[in-house]
Amino acid sequence: MSSRPPRAAPPRSSSIPGHPPPPQTSISFSRDERTDHAMSPTPYDEEHHSHGADMRRKKSLVRPDRERIDPGHRQWHYRSHVGDSTNVAVQPSATGNAPANIRRGKSLLGRDEETGEGGIFRRHGQTLKRRQVNTQDSPPPPVKDDLPEEPKRWIDSIGPGPKNCWFLYCYILTCCVPRFLLASCGIRTPEQQRAWREKIGLIVIIMSLMASVGFITFGFTQAVCSKPAPRIQSGKVENGSLIIHGYAYNLTDWKHPRAGSFFDGETSPLYGGILPSGGMDASFLFQVPNDKCAGLLDVPSGSGISTTGGFPNWVFPCNTFNQFGTTGQNLTGYTDRRLCHTASSSRSLLNSLSDRRSVVYYSWDQVMDTSRNLAVYESNVLDLNLLKWLSDSQITYPQFFTDIRNGAANATFQGRDITMHTYRLSQKRLANCLKDLVTVGFIDTSSIGCVASEVVLYVSLVFIIGVVSIKFAMAVIFGWFLSWRLGSFGKETYAERMQRSQAIENWTDDIYRPAPGAYRPNANTNKWALKDTNKKAFLPSTSRFSRAENVKGGRPTTTYGDVMNKRTPGTSTPSSYGKNLPVLHHTPPDSPAYRESRSSASLPYPDTSASDLHASAAACPFPLNNVIPQPPPDYEPFNFPLAHTICLVTAYSESVEGLRTTLDSLATTDYPNSHKLILVIADGLVKGSGNDLTTPEIVLSMMTDLVVPKEEVEPHSYVAIAHGHKRHNMAKVYAGFYKYDSATVERSKQQRVPIVLVAKCGNPLEAGEAKPGNRGKRDSQIVLMGFLQKVMFDERMTTFEYEFFNSIWRVTGVSPDRYEIVLCVDADTKVFPDSLTRMVSCMVHDEDIMGLCGETKIANKAETWVTMIQVFEYYISHHLTKAFESMFGGVTCLPGCFSIYRIKAPKGQSGYWVPILANPDIVEHYSENIVDTLHKKNLLLLGEDRYLTTLMLKTFPKRKMVFCPQAVCKTIVPDTFSVLLSQRRRWINSTIHNLAELVLVRDLCGTFCFSMQFVVFMELAGTLVLPAAISFTIYLIVITILTRDQPQARYSACLARCYPGFTRSTHRHYLAQGRLPRMDDRLLVLASHLEFRPSRVRVLAF
């Protein structure tokens, strides 16, 4: 997106923002809308169509106009909201006063009628059509009570909540546990029973995943790669064995049967007898010349070799040779048959010794040894030098044997696999004959199952090492080269950054320690601050009926231009869209009828007369209350345009010191007071432990110069996130300025900061309860988000929202729809003075950023051992996990204690806005009141802050969530293990369910395994199976300690500490081969040490 004009710059053709004309009904999404942004109206004049060129669809390979817009779409609520907002049927009130007709524009989405596109008539589904407005002649829609009741299905009787495949799976899994049995165990309500069944369903899935990990760890190799036969490498056969046709027979305790004068039946053939043969190759003593060599070998006339059926009984002299291939030609006893074992009884006796044999294998290095003449045929190692033992006078053999044992052909076969060569030359019969005659061993090979096992091992290694290495490298790049640029609004030197870093470290040692004075601005440094604001005249100069522009201390200018210029009602000014639109006055500076509209619900169109508009625009009846004047449009104290920001503090039962600490830190930030507002939402009339006052009373005692005296403030109703009568809640709105305590903030630092308090006080039915008005933190956030949504879409407000609107306007002089950013801070968090400025700087410089968080430091790090173990976890969570995710703009968790969100984002250079935090899709999903599944409970009740991040990533996957390490805050962490365990149990449940939501988002950055979706999947899988991985690691350590090979045990234990997942697979793989890993393997394992993350230890609490 191209850079837009500064916030302070008005349109060149006029000092007052122009109003866009009505949109055309033939607007196509493919021309004007970006997939994750709202669409801007098409210009009224066809001549000026070029101004919308910067708002064309970007970063999308699909056409949004061809998307199926159903309730599961991520922008369903937004599109329905915009489409329906202009067709609200307003009925006359009971007083008989019919409301004036409000001129509304056509559909912003161009869905009023079926239109043709590209010559093809395109029909819209029922979900995209505008609902018709009932007139007096048309009958009203049927009431729900008048409709016939739908027959109940059998599935509705087995439990509450939605009936889907997940519910059926859980019910079938636990159908053997009836409801009365659960009720007898204390699980009585249907909702509790459904939650229990869903827990069992989740446990079964997790246990299945753990079993899969266990199978891959311990059983996969045994299943696909069975235990190999005993193997001995050639050259390492000891004297207790005898080699015959490639097998080493262990004959240490075997006695040769009686055989004439050679053996007496008590002698081993290895050490006694006529031919001591320990460690020798005795293949020539058991020759097989009449199997595959039949017809190829013949006995010439005059030969001393006996025959059977015309075939020779042996072809080589019956002598032994060593396993190293250094025995020369030995033709002694060529015709002596006594050692040739030609009898069938001798062969049967050899076959009976199969349980004593081991495979003699050769490595390829041994085969390619030029000192020997070895070749490989069908995995058999052939010693071609043994063909030299053939005597032409005793046996007739093919010429091929002569060629391969010497001459030019020897270079072709020596040290090679001759299988394919013999196949091509149709010499397979000759090669099979050689296999029977001169086989001395087998090549070192693996079965297909063992190869598959190794493939799984190394693929896992590549993924693990790849993800870990990339993650670490990206985090390092972010920390060294990019982090200091985020939020940098001035030319800071390296020394200044180091000085600031040291000041922050000293500041975080104590939660109550104030920031250094050099980073906190003085109260008299703001030349735009009001002078003598507390000085009052003897007689009042204004009344509640005075016009806002005539009130002393009102807004002389705004950051969007001088909107207080006096003009006559009938004058007009050129618009940036090329049309002369009427100029209004006598309205609040940010009134929807005056400002450049942000939605189609309040667009003044050319066919509306100026007199009508002037008549409908009444002056603001409430005077401003000594507001802080707005600086001129070009005021940029930090070298970037200022943006109005709300500092939201959600309070519950905090102490006076805790609230004072947080509000002091926000009030003394160096961000201009004209552009920041402190908003405290007290969640009920709760009196914390050790407090004499309730939380709203504590906050109220920290306010002064109230717009309305606190005795006159009345509670107003609003719809809360709760059940039953608690769905109705009431709240009071107080507006004033922050009241400092000179004991905590010196007078020179006490600036004038506007503050608004929303105190939930509950409905009349809960007046006698312990915590009236308490609805939770999510409800407090929805109070603001829903209000901002109505403000942005110019919707009708309730009395509470109207008071909320007026309180903000009267204490700041700024209409609430001017606010672009909201900073969320917990009531026990203290913010560094320049953190807010740095966070706003990130937002202003990159309009695609919709949320970011700073670094949270621990203020009580040295209090107990429990706080000490959390220091490294917090550091790794920020500077490894969030730093890596920030490189791709996909931080998956913005902590609620210190995060900033964009309320609305600018679109193009024409003054249009896209709702972000105020988006109806986010507000609707985040304000979900029906929490009837375990998944929703973990999302909405245990980790609402993380779920808000998930919702924003799902709704706007192309926008950014980043981490700004320059913005710092400090907080108090649990100092006892029980509290820490309770906190992590909530966090881990929320983490699992939010990752399960994010893993289904396909539009995140990247593709396949190089994507944030794959990283989220790895995080989810690793989190679920980590308990099994830790258990397997402990088992491996114990087993290796108990083994006899102590060096191997120590080595395995070291690997287990490095990375359990890779250790177990690698150790199992190498033990199956009877050897230890090589040095290069050890280096690969040590590289996997980077995968160890203490933040995952919290899974143990699960």
Please report the DSSP string for 666-720 in residue order: HHTSSS-GGGEEEEEEE-SS---TT-SS-HHHHHHHTEES-SS-GGG---EEEE-
Give the pLDDT band (50/70/90) at residue 711: very high
DSSP string, 545-579: TS-GGGSTT--S-BTTB-------TT-EEE-TTSS
Phi, psi torsion values for 116, nearest 5 degrees: -95, 140
Q: Is 436 left (phi over 0), alpha (psi -120 to 50) or beta?
A: alpha
Three-class SS of residue 498?
helix
Rounded to an integer, what distance in angstroms lies between the CA atom of residue 605 and that of residue 525?
44
Mean predicted confidence (pLDDT) in 272-290: 82
Task: For residue 716, count other CB atoms closer than 10 A to its CB.
Answer: 18
Sequence-ordered list of residues with C-beta below 8 angstroms from that of 775, at least 6 positions apart, any chain: 683, 684, 720, 721, 722, 726, 729, 760
In angstroms, what CA-CA distances link 690 with 657, 686, 687, 693, 766?
11, 12, 8, 9, 23
- Chain centre to alpha carbon of residue 595: 40
Contact between 685 and 719 under an 8 Å Cβ cutoff? The reply is: no
Cβ-count burial 551-573 (b if 16+ within 10 Å, e if not):
bebbbebbbbbebbeeeeeeeeb
Q: Is residue 454 scored above 70 in pLDDT? A: yes
pLDDT at 620 over 70: no
Question: What phi and psi values does residue 900 have, to the nearest 5 degrees?
Answer: -130, 140
For residue 836, count other CB atoms closer than 10 A to its CB.
26
Using pLDDT thresholds of 50, 70 and 90, give the confidence band for residue 922.
Answer: very high
**Comparing 276 with 956, which gets the higher pLDDT?**
956
Question: DSSP state, 410?
Answer: H
Half-sphere exposure of residue 856: CA atoms within 13 angstroms, side-chain side:
21
Question: Which positions ≥6 away from 903 have C-beta within 8 Å?
Answer: 646, 788, 792, 819, 820, 821, 822, 915, 916, 917, 918
Nearest-5° angle of CA 836, CA 842, CA 844? 100
789-802 mean pLDDT: 92
**Dist. CA 944–CA 952, nearest whole Å:** 12
Closest CA to 382 of 427, 419, 423: 419
pLDDT at 508 over 50: yes
Decide the pairing of beta strands 676-682 and 645-651.
Answer: parallel
pTM over 0.85: no
Neighbours of 545 (CB within 10 A): 9
CA 913 – CA 593 distance, rounded (Å): 17
| Residue 461 three-state SS | helix
Residue 427: partners with Cβ closer than 8 Å, 6 or more residues away? 400
Report the share of the chain in percent with pLDDT over 70: 72
**Cα–Cα distance measured from residue 856 to residue 853, given in angstroms and rounded to the nearest whole number:** 9
**What is the model's pLDDT at position 105?**
39
Q: What is the pLDDT of residue 345?
A: 87
Residue 689 — φ and ψ, nearest 5°? -65, 125
377 has which bridge partners? 380
- Residue 402: pLDDT band (50, 70, 90) is confident
538 pLDDT band, cuts 50/70/90, is: low
- Give me the count of residues in the chain: 1102
Model pLDDT for residues 813-859, shown as the tens digit of each residue: 999 999 999 999 998 899 999 999 999 999 999 999 999 999 999 99
- Above 90 in pLDDT, residue 1040? no
Q: Angle at the Cα of 884 (from 881 to 886), degrees rounded to 5?
A: 105
Does the pLDDT at position 527 exceed 90?
A: no
Q: What is the pLDDT of residue 429?
A: 92
* Rounded Cα–Cα distance for residues 119 and 519 (Å): 64
Q: Produce one character per residue of 622-647: b if its CB has 16 or more CB atoms within 10 Å, e if not.
A: bbbbbbbbbbebebbbbebbbbbbbb
In the structure, what pLDDT confidence band is assigned to residue 536 with cuts at 50, 70 and 90? Answer: low
Q: Which residues contact 498 (CB under 8 A, 6 or more apart)?
A: none
pLDDT in the model for residue 505:
92
Q: Is 590 in contact with 557 (CB distance < 8 Å)?
A: no
202 or 111, which is more confident? 202
Give residue 913's Cα distance to chain centre: 28
* Lowest-pLDDT range of 115-124, 221-230, 1037-1046, 1050-1059: 115-124
Mean pLDDT comparison of 26-40, 278-292, 999-1013, highest-scoring range = 278-292
Residues 111-166 pLDDT 10s = 344 433 333 333 334 433 334 444 445 555 555 455 566 666 767 777 788 888 88
Residue 1089 has a pLDDT of: 37
- Please report the pLDDT score of residue 463 as a whole number: 82
The H or E element spanning position 849 is: strand 849-858
Taking residue 178's Cβ as centre, other Cβ atoms within 10 Å add up to 11
934 phi and psi angles, rounded to 5 deg: -65, -35
> In this structure, are residues 754 and 675 in contact, taking their beta carbons and an 8 Å threshold?
no
**Helix or strand or coil: residue 428?**
helix
The helix or strand, by DSSP H or E, that contains position 965, with its residue range, turns out to be strand 960-971
* Assigned token pair, 818: 């001017």
Residue 956 has pLDDT above 90, yes or no: yes
Q: What is the pLDDT of residue 810?
A: 93
The neighbour count for residue 973, using CB atoms within 10 Å, is 21
- Cβ neighbour number for residue 327 with a 10 Å cutoff: 16
Task: State phi, psi for 829 to the nearest 5 degrees.
Answer: -115, 140
| Range with the poorest average pLDDT among 34-43, 261-270, 329-338, 663-672 | 34-43
Provide the pLDDT for residue 302.
Answer: 85
Tokens (6 digits) for 670: 């160096």
Are 382 and 376 contacting, i.e. CB atoms less than 8 angstroms apart?
A: yes
SS3 749: helix
pLDDT tens, residue by residue, 464-487: 888 889 999 999 999 999 988 888
Q: What is the pLDDT of residue 579?
A: 34
Radius of gyration of the chain (CA): 42
